[in-house]
C-alpha cells in the first residue's frame, strides 16, 4: 500500500481513530507522518472516506483524475456511487456488481491486484472450484507433454475429462 | 491447544499468540451498518440456531452472547481479552458473539461484516489457527450462502478486506529490537511484502509494553496459504533478529540488563499505585527476564494473566464495582502484588 498523503512511498505508519463510534484510518509513510507531527496546524481531521475518495479519483495511469459521468446506484440497497466515495463502505454485496469495473483502480491501489486466487466456498462455489482445478490440470498436462511424460499426460487427460463432465451437470 | 493467556505454544518466549480472522457476509442481506434492527436480529438468529442447536461446531462447546445482554464493563473486558473487537462492543445493540469454552474461537456477528470468525492460539501456531478457522468456515458455509464473487472473492463491507477476507496476525514481544531502535528497518522491510506492524495497546507510536502485532495488509490476489506463509516466514526472521539483539545486549551489559529486570520485578512486587502504562512497561521487563531464564520462579502465563486482568475494564469486572482512575491504580498495584509474591 502506498502512502495516502504523498502517494509515493510505501505506507508503514498506521493510525486508527475511534471518535463517537466512527472509525477512521490513515496509512501513511514515515516521512509524511513526521511532517504531520511537526506541524500541529496540519492536523486536519482525516477521514477514511477522504482516503477512499482520493484513491478512487486516481485513474491508475497517473493522468487525469477519474470522474464518473453519471452516478450509478445499486438497485439492491440503494447506495449510490457518490455516497460510497464518501463513506468507503458498501451497502450490500450487490454493490460490487453495480459499481463494476469502476472499482478496479481502487482494488489495484489497495491490494496491487484485482483477481481473487484464494479459497472458494465449497457448496456455492463448487463450479468455480472445478473450473479452477481444470485450469490447473491443463497446465500440468501441457508440462507433461512438453516433458514427453505420456503416461502422466494420459492420466491428467482423464482427470480433466472427468471434471469437465461434472462441470456440465 | 488451550487459551493463549493460560497456556504456552511454540516460540512462546517471544510470540504471545497467533490469530486468524475471516470476514464473511451472507448473500442477499444488507451489510450490518445499513441493516435495521429486525434484520440484525434475523442474522444473529440464523447463525446461532444452526451453529448451537444442531451442535455442529468443531472445537468444543459454544455459547451465544448477545452484546445487549451484558454490561458495558463486561463487553470492554471481552475486548481486553481479545475475544471481541472494539467495534462489536460499540455496536452492542445489534451484535453478538458465539464463543467456545476457552475463548480460542469466537464468531462475531454484525461486526463490520455479518461474520468475523476468529481463532487464537498460544505462541506461533498460525497454520493450526488457520486450519481450525477454515474448518469452521466450511461448517458455516454448508448451511449459509456466502456473498462471493469469482473475481473479487469473499465480498466485504470495506474494500480493504475483499478477496480472502483473511487477517492473520501474531502478537509479539520485542523489547531488544525496540531498545536498539532496529524496528524502523523491519517496518520498511515488511511493508514491501504486504505486511504491517503495529502496537497492540494504543495505535501508532505509543507502543506500550514492547508488544506488537504483525499482520497481513493485502487480502486480494494472494491465496490464504501464501498470506500465512509470508507472515510465518517474516515472523520467523523477526524472532531471530530479536534473539540476536537479546544476546548482544546480554553480552555487552549483562549487569545493567539484569538490574533493570530485577528492579522492574521489585517495583511490581512492592508498588502501592500503578498506572496501566507503567505496569505494562515493567511487565515487559519481567517478561524479558522470564524469557531469558533470568527469572526462574515466575511462569510466562502468570504474566499473561496479569497483563489482561490489570486492564481497566477487566480490573473493574474483577472488583465487582466501578472504580475511578486513582482507585483503579491502587487496585492494580494490589492485584499485581498478590499475584507476583
B23 and B135, same domain (yes or no): yes
B157 contacts A89? CB cut-off 8 A: yes
Q: How far is the C-alpha of B86 from the C-alpha of B79, rounded, in Å?
A: 6
pLDDT, one tens digit per residue, over A60-92 is 444 444 455 567 889 989 998 888 888 889 999
Residue B10 included in any domain = no
- B254 annotated as ligand-binding: no
B179 and B67, same domain (yes or no): yes
CA-CA-CA-CA torsion sign (B150, B153, B154, B159): negative
Candidates A15, A97, A121; nearest CB to B146: A121
Q: How far is the C-alpha of A115 from the C-alpha of B152, rounded, in Å?
A: 6
Q: Final residue of a domain: which of B189, B209, B242?
A: B242
Residue A39 included in any domain = yes
B77 and B154, same domain (yes or no): yes
Residue A89 included in any domain = yes
Instruction: State chain B's maximal CA–CA distance in angstroms.
Output: 64
Mean pLDDT, chain B, whole residue set: 90
B268 and B212, same domain (yes or no): no
A129 and A164, same domain (yes or no): yes
Report ipTM for this prediction.
Answer: 0.83
Q: How far is the C-alpha of A4 from the C-alpha of A13, rounded, in Å?
A: 10
In this predicted structure, the answer to whether residue A27 has a pLDDT above a threshold of 50 is yes
B273 and B331, same domain (yes or no): yes
Residue A61 included in any domain = no
Percent of chain A with pLDDT over 70: 70
Q: Is A93 on the interface with B (CB under 8 A)?
A: yes
CA A62 to chain CA mean position, Å: 19
- What confidence score (pLDDT) does residue B202 get? 42
In angstroms, the Cα distances linking B220 to A104, A114, B31, B127, B194 are 12, 7, 20, 19, 11
Q: How many domains does chain B have?
A: 2
In this predicted structure, the answer to whether residue B121 has a pLDDT above a threshold of 90 is yes
Q: How far is the C-alpha of B122 from the C-alpha of B116, rounded, in Å?
A: 20
A100 and A129, same domain (yes or no): no
CB contact at 8 A, A2 and A109: yes
Confidence of residue A53 (pLDDT cuts 50, 70, 90): low
Q: How far is the C-alpha of B269 from the C-alpha of A88, rounded, in Å?
A: 49
Query: Chain A: nearest CA to B250, how far in angstroms?
Result: 30
A131 and A159, same domain (yes or no): yes
B157 and B259, same domain (yes or no): no
Residue B9 included in any domain = no
Q: Final residue of a domain: which of B209, B242, B275?
A: B242
Say what the pTM is. 0.80
Q: How far is the C-alpha of B292 from the C-alpha of B135, rounded, in Å?
A: 37
Residue B256 included in any domain = yes
Residue A28 included in any domain = yes
Closest CA to B306 of B339, B271, B272, B276: B339
A41 and A3, same domain (yes or no): yes
Residue B1 included in any domain = no
Length of chain A: 169
In this predicted structure, the answer to whether residue A37 has a pLDDT above a threshold of 70 is no
Q: How many domains does chain A have?
A: 3
Full domain range(s) for residue A30: 1-45
Query: Residue B310 gets which letter from DSSP?
Result: T
List CB contacts (< 8 A) between A136 and chain B. Answer: none
B180 and B274, same domain (yes or no): no
In angstroms, the Cα distances linking A92 to A97, A120, A158, B171 are 10, 20, 41, 32
pLDDT, one tens digit per residue, over B202-257 is 444 446 789 999 999 999 999 999 999 999 999 999 999 999 999 999 999 999 99
Q: Is B149 on the interface with A (CB under 8 A)?
A: yes
Residue A119 included in any domain = no
Beta-carbon neighbour count of residue A72 at 10 Å? 17
**Residue A157: burial class (beta carbons within 10 Å; 0-12, 13-18, 19+):** middle
- 3-state secondary structure string across chain A: CECCCCCCCECCEEEEEEECCEEEEEEECHHHHHHHHHCHHHCCCCCHHHHHHHHHCCCCCCCCCCCCCCCCECCCCCCEHHHHHHHCCCCECHHHHHHHHHHHHHHHHHHCCCCCCCCCCCCCCHHHHHHHHHHHHHHHHHHHHHCCCHHHHHHHHHHHHHHHHHHHC
Instruction: Give the domain CATH number at B199.
Output: 3.30.590.10
For the segment B298-305, the average pLDDT, to the nearest whole number, is 93
Full domain range(s) for residue B277: 252-340
Residue B195 included in any domain = yes
B221 contacts A115? CB cut-off 8 A: yes
B228 and B267, same domain (yes or no): no
- What confidence score (pLDDT) does residue B8 get? 87
Q: Going by DSSP bridges, is the β-strand pair B211-216/B62-66 parallel, antiparallel, or unpaired? A: unpaired
Query: Chain B: nearest CA to A6, how far in angstroms?
Result: 16
B205 and B279, same domain (yes or no): no
> Which residues, in sequence order, are CB contacts of B135 under 8 Å at separation 6+?
B58
Q: In chain B, what is the straight-line distance between the N-terminal and C-terminal CA atoms, in Å?
A: 28
Of A125-129, B20-24, B40-44, B81-85, least confident by mean pLDDT is A125-129
Q: Final residue of a domain: which of B195, B220, B242?
A: B242
B265 and B121, same domain (yes or no): no
Candidates A77, A89, A117; nearest CB to B158: A89
For the segment B128-141, the average pLDDT, to the nearest whole number, is 93
- What confidence score (pLDDT) does residue A49 get? 53
- Measured in degrees and rounded to the nearest 5, phi and psi for residue A105 equal -60, -35
Candidates B87, B159, B163; nearest CB to A118: B163
> Which residues, in sequence order, are CB contacts of A63 under 8 Å at separation 6+?
none
B175 and B221, same domain (yes or no): yes
For the segment B142-171, the average pLDDT, to the nearest whole number, is 94
B277 and B305, same domain (yes or no): yes
In this predicted structure, the answer to whether residue B341 has a pLDDT above a threshold of 90 is no
Residue B6 included in any domain = no
Amino acid at each position: 500500500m502506498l502512502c495516502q498523503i504523498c502517494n509515493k512511498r510505501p505506507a508503514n505508519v498506521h493510525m486508527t481513530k475511534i471518535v463517537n463510534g466512527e472509525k477512521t484510518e490513515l496509512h501513511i509513510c514515515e516521512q509524511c507522518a513526521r511532517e504531520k507531527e511537526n506541524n500541529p496546524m496540519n492536523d486536519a481531521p482525516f477521514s477514511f472516506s477522504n482516503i477512499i475518495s482520493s484513491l478512487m479519483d486516481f485513474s491508475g495511469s497517473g493522468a487525469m483524475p477519474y470522474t464518473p459521468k453519471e452516478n450509478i446506484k445499486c438497485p439492491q440497497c440503494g447506495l449510490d456511487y457518490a455516497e460510497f466515495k464518501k463513506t468507503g463502505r458498501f451497502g450490500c454485496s450487490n454493490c460490487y456488481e453495480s459499481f463494476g469495473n469502476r472499482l478496479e483502480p481502487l482494488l489495484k491501489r489497495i491490494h496491487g491486484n484485482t483477481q481473487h486466487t484464494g479459497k472458494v466456498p465449497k457448496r456455492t462455489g463448487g463450479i468455480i472450484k472445478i473450473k479452477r482445478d481444470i485450469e490447473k490440470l491443463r497446465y500440468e498436462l501441457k508440462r507433461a507433454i512438453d516433458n514427453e511424460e505420456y503416461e502422466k499426460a494420459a492420466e491428467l487427460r482423464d482427470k480433466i475429462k472427468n471434471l469437465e463432465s461434472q462441470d456440465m451437470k | 491447544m488451550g487459551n493463549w493467556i493460560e497456556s504456552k505454544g511454540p516460540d512462546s518466549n517471544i510470540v504471545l499468540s497467533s490469530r486468524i480472522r475471516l470476514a464473511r457476509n451472507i448473500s442477499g442481506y444488507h451489510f450490518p451498518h445499513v441493516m435495521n434492527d429486525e434484520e440484525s436480529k434475523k442474522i444473529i438468529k440464523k447463525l446461532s440456531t444452526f451453529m448451537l442447536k444442531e451442535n455442529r461446531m468443531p472445537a468444543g462447546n459454544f455459547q451465544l452472547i448477545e452484546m445487549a445482554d451484558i454490561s458495558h464493563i463486561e463487553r470492554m473486558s471481552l475486548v481486553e481479552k481479545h475475544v471481541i473487537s472494539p467495534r462489536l462492543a460499540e455496536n452492542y445493540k445489534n451484535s453478538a458473539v458465539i464463543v467456545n469454552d476457552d475463548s480460542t474461537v469466537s464468531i462475531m456477528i454484525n461486526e463490520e461484516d455479518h461474520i468475523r470468525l476468529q481463532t487464537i492460539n498460544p505462541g506461533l501456531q498460525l497454520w493450526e489457527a488457520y486450519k481450525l478457522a477454515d474448518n469452521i468456515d466450511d461448517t458455516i458455509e454448508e448451511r449459509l450462502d456466502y456473498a462471493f464473487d469469482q473475481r473479487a472473492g469473499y465480498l466485504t463491507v470495506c474494500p480493504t478486506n475483499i478477496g480472502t477476507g483473511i487477517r492473520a496476525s501474531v502478537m509479539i514481544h520485542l523489547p531488544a529490537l525496540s531498545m536498539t531502535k532496529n524496528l524502523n528497518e523491519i517496518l520498511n522491510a515488511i511493508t514491501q511484502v504486504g505486511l504491517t506492524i503495529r502496537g497492540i495497546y494504543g495505535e501508532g507510536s505509543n507502543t506500550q509494553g514492547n508488544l506488537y502485532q504483525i499482520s497481513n495488509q493485502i487480502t486480494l490476489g494472494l491465496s490464504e496459504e501464501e498470506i500465512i506463509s509470508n507472515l510465518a516466514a517474516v515472523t520467523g526472521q523477526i524472532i531471530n533478529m530479536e534473539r540476536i539483539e537479546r544476546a548482544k545486549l546480554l553480552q555487552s551489559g549483562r549487569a545493567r540488563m539484569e538490574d533493570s529486570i530485577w528492579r522492574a520485578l521489585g517495583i511490581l512486587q512492592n508498588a502501592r499505585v500503578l498506572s496501566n502504562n507503567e505496569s505494562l512497561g515493567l511487565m515487559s521487563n519481567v517478561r524479558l527476564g522470564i524469557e531469558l531464564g533470568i527469572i526462574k520462579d515466575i511462569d510466562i502465563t502468570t504474566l499473561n494473566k496479569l497483563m489482561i486482568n490489570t486492564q481497566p475494564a477487566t480490573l473493574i469486572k474483577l472488583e465487582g464495582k466501578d472504580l475511578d482512575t486513582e482507585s483503579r491504580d491502587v487496585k492494580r498495584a494490589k492485584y499485581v502484588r498478590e499475584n507476583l509474591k
